[in-house]
Amino acid sequence: MRVNWDILKLSVLILCVIGLYGFSDYRSNQREVEEISVNFLGDNDLFIDEASVNKLLIQNYGSVKNRTKEQLVLNTIEKVIQSNDMVKKAQIYFTVDGKLVSKIVQRKPIGRIEGASKFYLDDVGKRMPLSKHHSARVPIITGKITGKTLEDAYTILNYINADDFLRKNVIGIHVEEEGNYQLRFRMENFVVNLGGVDNLNEKFKNFMAFYAKATKDNSLEKYAVVSLEFNNQVVCTKI
């Protein structure tokens, strides 16, 4: 029987490659984690720090350093980190030099509730606890806090954050009652009665027209209340 040496050589080569790959993979899995790197993506304001992440891992998973790669389940480590109330998402991976890297995206607060209980409202409308590491500069929400008024406050905050002027100047939302919201501005003495969350685009369009004219006339300081509750008009109460 004639031997096909080309096929035989190719088969041996494939077996060698598979063997080398298996050996390399085995050696890699047996390599111990020499360093842990914690990276926070996005804003530099940290609501959770590296020490807190490491403590969280030790409490829920045990020590990670000096354990082999095959002893560590990356999905489990990710879930442990994501269990923290300040974390939105975590990605964990190994580098070729034996480093365990975690990339963490924090939750983003857009409002702070000041009432019987104090907490943040995050950018997806969920409650977020305050942090001992950092206090976010976001509008303060006060008054009658309920599930529905928080939903409305979230709608208002999303509109405010989409507008550069409003984002820089609105410092608070006061809930008089459901469907009756009042805005407070950074540099002005007046308050803005917004009413409900219906027709926000029209209401703020009217307000910006009023604000531009009153600024030009130097008359902003004359007003105590600016009401946007009525259709297509701005009703002002003087001091």
Q: What is the pLDDT of residues 110-135, one digit of tens each?
A: 999 998 899 999 999 999 999 988 99
Question: 54 in a domain, yes or no?
Answer: yes
| Same domain, residue pair 113 and 206 | yes
Q: What is the pLDDT of residue 163?
A: 95
Q: What is the pLDDT of residue 100?
A: 83
Q: How many Cα atoms are found within 13 Å in the side-chain-facing hemisphere of 121?
A: 26
| Same domain, residue pair 88 and 40 | yes
Question: 10 in a domain, yes or no?
Answer: no
| Same domain, residue pair 204 and 144 | yes
| Same domain, residue pair 133 and 72 | no
Q: What is the pLDDT of residue 85?
A: 93
Quickly state the pLDDT bin for 26 (edges 50, 70, 90): very low
| Same domain, residue pair 84 and 123 | no
Question: Is 17 a residue whose pLDDT tops 60?
Answer: no
| Same domain, residue pair 128 and 191 | yes
Q: What is the pLDDT of residue 32?
A: 63
* Sequence-separated (6 or more) residues with CB below 8 Å from residue 45: 134, 136
| Same domain, residue pair 122 and 227 | yes
CATH for 92 = 3.10.20.310
Q: How many Cα atoms are found within 13 Å in the side-chain-facing hemisphere of 11?
A: 6
Q: What is the pLDDT of residue 57?
A: 83
Question: 202 in a domain, yes or no?
Answer: yes
Q: What is the pLDDT of residue 22?
A: 47
Can you give the residue range of the structural domain that contains 221?
Answer: 109-238
Most confident range (mean pLDDT) of 34-48, 92-106, 207-221 is: 207-221
